[in-house]
Structure formats: structure tokens, C-alpha cells
Structure 1
């Protein structure tokens, strides 16, 4: 009798790795004992925790079987649901030898232990993640939610940087390359907003900066970041300084900051990056300490990276209030400055008012052709007003005419603004007997103004897209 054919384990693992759905991978381990032993490590490669029950079960599993902790490559708590642990469940957890053991190695004093216990009982994702991070020595990616203040997570990260207990046996996070930090206001303590100007943002900055000190870090995403102001000024890398200042250099090459406020151009972050390749920033005036979007501050910061920066997004759909903590908000329409010396820049996404110095006149003082780098491939211009469309078309046509000699890599132009036809309701027309659907087409004036540019792009083999902010419609 012939034995049934069995696929080798290596082949089965390759098949299992093609399953993107975590539930499908989970089901594999229940097929047979062989599949359980074979695919269990695959299930633990990517771990998503949404609740304190998930977190406690996970900690128990990797404590009992350390080999599982070593296969975890990605930890994701970005969809965490905050919920205080019912007293009956918390009484059971406090008797758990595993939880007691984790607290013993993570806490340095009785007062600190009491703080850990309080935050764990509140179901805070940042505290539960801080408890498990010392066990995950082979992490590549980390996606965390945090609240303000985030005391326990901050504490663990500082101890990781300093190689202190519970990280004294081996350097921490030697393989971690990608981190996303999601601040969620619904997770904050009620007093956090009241004390927003009294240390909470400094704690937030300390958490973010701790990841900049890890050796393998390459990519950082964070939201609601307020410009760090509590670290020492970094010397200008373009000039020789007589006084030597010791500055930790970061291996991070990608920074993506959403709904943030950079009063100093995020200089404290950018200055640490020796080889920054991508910087994306979305401004928000919703932070109490915001002084408004200040393009010139970012220009000063990013000048350090002008030989390495390949992708730059500035203020993508940012929020600008008429007034900020500094008073009347007039800074967001400032000219960023010439990008001609950014010799590696391939992709640029920027507001028209920051790309060209047109704040007090209809024509720019410095023409666009003198402000763009020769390396540019994709240009995306946001916030174009209808009154500036003719000027912008003229400036871009000059760029295209000089494309072969000055911009040989340029292949795509994008213009975005409020270009759609207004609906009857928006115009205040109430005479219609029945509501009319909104007209989501581009205004004929805009299409007509863009037509010469469209012809030039077609002749040069370039893509041209004209979008409306609401509907992202392209003219035909």
C-alpha cells in the first residue's frame, strides 16, 4: 500500500505565507498536529491586539513559550479599544503569576508598580504594550496608540535607550525599522487637555525622540506632534562650528507627521537625520501652542537634507485657523524658498502660496523655473485659487519649454484647487422644486485656462491632472 503524498514543510510554509488574512492563518493550526507545529510561528509573525483581553492572552503565550516571542516581527495596536477592566476580571488578573512577573521586572519601586497597576486596570493600550515590549526582541514594525500623558511607555522606552532593566541582558529593538505612533484623544485622561501646555507635549516629544535613537530605525509616522523644544540646538551642518556639540545621529530616512504643529520647522527631529530621504508634514492649528504654519522655519530645517531628500510633502490638506496662540494667522501663505539646490528631490507636493512668492502680487518675484530642482519627476501643486490659474499655467509652460535642458526627469504635473461648479444650494438658489445633484465637474473657465498647458504636456509626453479638492475630478 502506497503512502499518500505529502508536501515538504518548506513548500507548505511558502503557501501559508501567501495567506494575507490573519484568520486564515489561524485556522491552519487547527487542521492537524503537524500543521499546528508548523504554522504557529507564522500566526505569531504579525500580532494585532485590540483590547486588554488580547494583550493579556498574548503576554501569557509569549511568556510560556519564549520561542513565540522571537518570531514576532510586527506588533499592531492601532485599533485599540480603551475599556476599564471589570473589577471581577481585574481581581483574577492581579493573582496571575505571569502579570506579577512582568510588573516585577518592569517596575523599580512600589509607587511605580502602583502606577502600572492603575493604568493597566484602565485598559490603556500604551501601558499594556509597554509591558510586553521587552519580550519582543526581533520586532521589525511597531504600531502603537498612546494617550497623554503616556508615562509607562515613555519610561520603558527611556530604559531601552539606556540599556537598563528590563533590557540589561541585550540591546533593545536591534531590528526595529518602522514605527507609527497614533495619538488618540479618546484615550487621553480627562485632565490631559487642561494641562496640555504643562509638560504633556514634552512627554510626547520624549516618546517620539526615543525612537530616533534606535539603531535600525528607518521610518517614523506620528500624528498630533507638537514641535519638540526641550532639546539642545543642533549646529548648522553647512557651516564649520568652532564649538563641538555632541549630537546623536539617527538612521531614520522617512518622517511622516500628520495633524501636527511645527513652530520651529521640526528642527529637533530633522537635524538628527543624517540621510533623510522623505519628509511629509500636515499642519494643524488645533494644538493650543500652535503659532500657525511657518514655511520658512521648515526651509531652514530641511536645508540640511537638500542633498538627500527625494520626497517632500508640505502641508498636505492642512488646517489653518484665522487666529492662533500667536495672534492673527498670516504665516501660512509665506514663500517656502527656492528648492533649486535640493539636488535629489524627485517628488514635491506643496501649496501654491508656498511654492511661489505671490503673497502681495499677482506674479511671482522669483519665477518657478528658478525655484525647482533639475532632479524633479512629479510636481503636485495644492491650493491653487481660480484667480491664480492663468499665472500658474504660464509658469508651468515655461518649465515645460525648458524641460530637456533643465528638467529632463519631469513626467507628471498635478494642480489642485476649488475648481468644481457650485451646486444650486451652495449658490443660495432655493427656486428649484426638487433638490438637484451637486455638479461635480470642473468649471469651464478652469478647463479653458488649462488647455494650453494640456497641449504642451501632451507634446512633451508629460501627464497633467487638474483636480478639485472635493471630487478629485480630471478635465477631459
Structure 2
């Protein structure tokens, strides 16, 4: 049997295991293959990445506007570094259809004539991708997931999202996941107000960010000037206020600063199920606990830890008790954030008293040797055998900077005692969450924050 004679269902299954380049070559073999598999070619679109030119944005825009069926196929859109490559779109007369562009711009609602005129001029000028991307994204109304590597001066895309968020009828009614990072991973961060619009789209359930800087309050003494994006004025931040009933259930922030505990974001969520923060030096632990306490009855996972290379010697203050979080299953925290340390670096509280009965997985980060470590190990043995935690199945210890033979011996002894009590026990070393595991193969706990992958495309 010839390959192209296979049933459509089989061809679809095969194409799901191929990359876009292979699918493209496959659909060129025959009209039947083109008809059957074309939809999969457009399901995941990559633009502006390392191996993609700015010119592709123009070509793709014309393709999906002249054949809207193609736009309906797109489920996932990756926007790489907008400033990569030449950064300039070279347009010849054959490509630049001013009349057609005028038609597309005129169809956009919420824009004044002056705004439309400027948009058209910037499209024709071809200085950068921003005005083209803003026009393109609006065509992809069946998107399920979008990944954005925010350019510093992304004015058109930002304004388009703000206007879309104000529409009475949802513009992106199927969008479920949003991931974003900052265009320059060496300095600066995404001002958190750039993500505000996504809280207004009714189907969005997960927001993941890398290199996010929480917007500051002008009266906040903990304001970090590195987080402030001076190009975005305050009135623009307030143009699309955060809703108080967003359907987002998962917030996942990597390499980010949250000095105000992300209260605006957390408070905007109607039902928050998971919160993960790998913070980059600024973390208001008391404020974060206050924010998370707004969702005591729904939170299933709480994760807060310093990013690699962050100095954590001063991160010893207590966050608060999680004993009254009735459905909380997973906790990852520094030991002192969970039990508090006194002036002698000894635990001030017992794990038994600050953990919820619903707990299934506990991940503790230890960053110093001494009596505090020994006391924490004793508490883990007690925890493993306690009947008040019937669902507790796994305990993980990330030991940062633990070097003495005595400490290693104590860790191994605790591991044996916990395993004898029927609990899985893992010891991890190095930086980052679940990066190094004492199992034969390393593994990563929980879903990957896809915002951290954007720099590779």
C-alpha cells in the first residue's frame, strides 16, 4: 500500500509525530496529502525566532487573511525575539498592497482615524515587526496558546491586546495558556502590567512568565527601579484594570521579582489552584503569604524558592502557617520560610503544626549546615510517621551548600527513617527545582514553565 493511500485518520496520527518541516515536504507529494494534513502544518506557528526572518510575518499575514481557513488552523503561536535577524522588513511593490492593508486596518474596532492612519504608515515603512504582528495576531481567533518574547518597544501589540481586552465579545475566546519572557535576558524584566489584558480573556487558565517585574507602588519603600519600564507610562498601566473575577487558575513565574507578593494578580483570580515563583532576589514573603491566603480553600500547590545564584542567607523570615489550607497538596519552600528560625538559626515551629492534612508532596530547601539542619531532619522523621498526614507520599530535600560528612550522614539517616515509615524520600543537590535527583534518571517536578523555553526559538 502506498503511504498516501492510508486512511486519513492514520495520516493525521503520523503527522502529529513530525515537525513542521517534514509536514511541509509531505503535503507537497500529492493533493490528497495536502488536503488531509495541511491543518497540522498550521497548528503550531513559529515567528521571529532565531531561524525565522521578519519577512515571514508579512507573508504569513497575507496568507491567513486571504484564506481565513488557514487562520482557523492555528492553535499555538510562538513569537521569538522580535529584534533578532535584520529587524527590518524589506517590502517590494508586489508585497506591499496598500489598499489591502488599509482594508485590514479599517476593520479593526476601537481605533481612531488618527491611530489607523499612523498604523498604516508604520506598516508601509517596514521598520519593525510590531505593527505587522499586531495585525496578524488579531486574525488568529482560534488560538489556544501564545508564547511571547516581549520586545522593549512593542507598542502596537500591547495596544492591540488592551483594546481586545475591552471588547464586549471575547476576541480570543479559546485562548487557554499564555507564556511570556523578556527580550533581553541579561537585564530588565517584563513590567507586570503588560500581561494585564490576558486576565480579561475568559478562557485563559494559565499564565507563565520568565523575567517578570511586579509593578511598583510609588509609595512602596521596597520599589526596585530595575523593574520599572519607563517607556510605559502610568496611565497606560491603568488603561486596562485587572478584573476581579479572572478565570486564571495557574500562575507560574520564573526568574521574577515579586516584592508586593503579586497581590494584584492573585486577587484578580476567581479560583487559584497553583502558584509557583522562582524569585530573582525580591520576595515579600509576608506579602506573598497574605496574597495566597486569599485562596486558602482552592490552592493545591504553593511553590516559592530563590533562583540560581540568588543570595539566600537573609531569606530566613517565616511566611505563615499553611495548616488551614484544606486542599493544599504540594509545598516547596525554604525551611525557615516554613517554620521560622530564631536568632540561633533553630526552627521556631514544628512542621506538624504548619502543614495541611491534605499534603501529598513536601519539598524543603536547606541552605546551611548546623543545628537548624539537624532539627529539621528530626522533624521530618516525626512528620513521616504522623497519622495526621494520610496522603503524604513523598518528601524531597534540596541541600544547597551542605558539605560536611556529619550533615550528609544525617540526611541519609533521615532518608532511611522516612522510607521505613513508608514515605518516598529524595535528596537533591545544586540549584533549581528538582534538577538533580538521587534516582537513576533526573526528572523535573510539575509542568514545565514554557516561558523559560522562549529564548531558544
- The interval holding the TM-score normalised by the smaller chain is 0.7 to 0.9
Distance 1:187 1:357, change over 3 A: closer
Residues of 1 paired with 2:258 and 2:145: CA distance? 26
The 2-side partners of 1:144 and 1:136 are apart by 14
Matches within 5 A, 1:89-108: 89=91, 94-95=96-97, 97-106=99-108, 108=112
| Structure 1 position 12 matched with structure 2 position 11 | yes
Task: State the match for 2:223 in structure 1.
Answer: none
Match of 2:199 among 199, 202, 212: 212
Tell me, yes or no, if structure 1 residue 306 matches structure 2 residue 290: no
Matched residue, 2:375:
391
Query: Aligned residues, how many?
Result: 406
Is the Cα contact below 8 Å between 2:364 and 2:398 reproduced in 1? yes
In the superposition, the TM-score normalised over structure 2's length comes to 0.79
1:334–1:28: structure 2 CA closer, same or farther, 3 Å change rule?
same
Tell me the distance in 1 between the aligned counterparts of 2:31 and 2:215: 52
For CA contacts below 8 A with separation 6 or more, give which structure has more relative contact order: 2
Question: 2:396 — aligned with what?
Answer: 414
2 CA distance for matches of 1:355 and 1:69? 48
Say which SS state the counterpart of residue 70 (structure 1) adopts: helix
Alignment partner of 1:458 out of 419, 424, 428? 419
2:166 — aligned with what? 162
Query: Is the 1:275–1:305 contact (alpha carbons within 8 Å) kept by the matching residues of 2?
Result: yes
Consecutive unaligned residues of structure 2, counting only runs of 5 or more, are 219-241, 441-457
Query: Secondary structure of the residue that 1:10 maps to in structure 2?
Result: helix
Q: Secondary structure at the match of 1:27?
A: helix
Question: What is the alpha-carbon distance in structure 2 between the residues aligned to residue 38 and residue 95 of structure 1?
Answer: 31
Aligned residues of 2:205 and 2:250 also touching (Cα < 8 A): yes
Contact kept? 2:89, 2:128, Cα under 8 Å: no
1:422-453 alpha-carbon deviations (Å, 9 max, x no partner)? xxxxxxxxxxxxxxxxxxxxx53222112331
Q: 1:465 to 1:5 in 2, by over 3 A?
A: closer
Aligned to 2:445: none
The CA distance in 2 between the partners of 1:367 and 1:174, in whole Å, is 47
Deviations 1:210-239 (A, max 9, x none): 1011110100011232224579xxxxxxxx
Q: Distance in 2 between matches of 1:249 and 1:20?
A: 40
1:25-424 matches, cutoff 5 A: 25-50=23-48, 51-78=53-80, 80=82, 82-85=84-87, 89=91, 94-95=96-97, 97-106=99-108, 108-110=112-114, 113-114=117-118, 118=122, 121-124=126-129, 127-163=131-167, 171-185=170-184, 204-228=191-215, 248-285=244-281, 292-317=282-307, 320=310, 332-387=315-370, 388-402=372-386, 405-419=387-401
| Distance verdict in 2 for CA 1:52–1:134, change over 3 Å | same
TM superposition outliers: structure 1 runs of 4+ over 6 Å:
2-5
The structural deviation recorded for 1:265 is: 0.7
SS at match of 1:135: coil
Check 1:321–1:186 CA distance in 2 against 1; reply closer, same or farther (3 A cut): closer
Separation (CA, whole Å) in 2 of partners of 1:391 and 1:3: 69
Offset of 1:118 from its aligned partner? 4.7
Query: Is the Cα–Cα contact under 8 Å of residues 154 and 206 in structure 1 kept in the other structure?
Result: no
> What SS class does the counterpart of residue 386 from structure 1 fall into?
coil
**8 Å Cα contact 2:43-2:76 kept in structure 1:** yes
Structure showing greater radius of gyration is: 1
Instruction: Specify the SS of the correspondent of 1:450.
Output: helix
The structural deviation recorded for 1:92 is 6.4
**2:86, 2:113 → 1: CA distance?**
24
Aligned to 2:234: none
Cα gap change, 1:396/1:95 in structure 2, threshold over 3 Å: closer, same or farther? Answer: same
After TM superposition, give the deviation of residue 253 of structure 1 in Å: 0.7
User: Structure 1 residues 70, 247: closer, same or farther in 2, change over 3 A?
Assistant: closer
8 Å contact kept, 2:105–2:119: no
- Cα distance in 2, alignment partners of residues 304 and 269 from structure 1: 11
1:295 positional shift: 0.6
Distance 1:391 1:115, change over 3 A: farther
What is the deviation of 1:313?
A: 1.0
Q: TM-score, normalised by structure 1?
A: 0.76
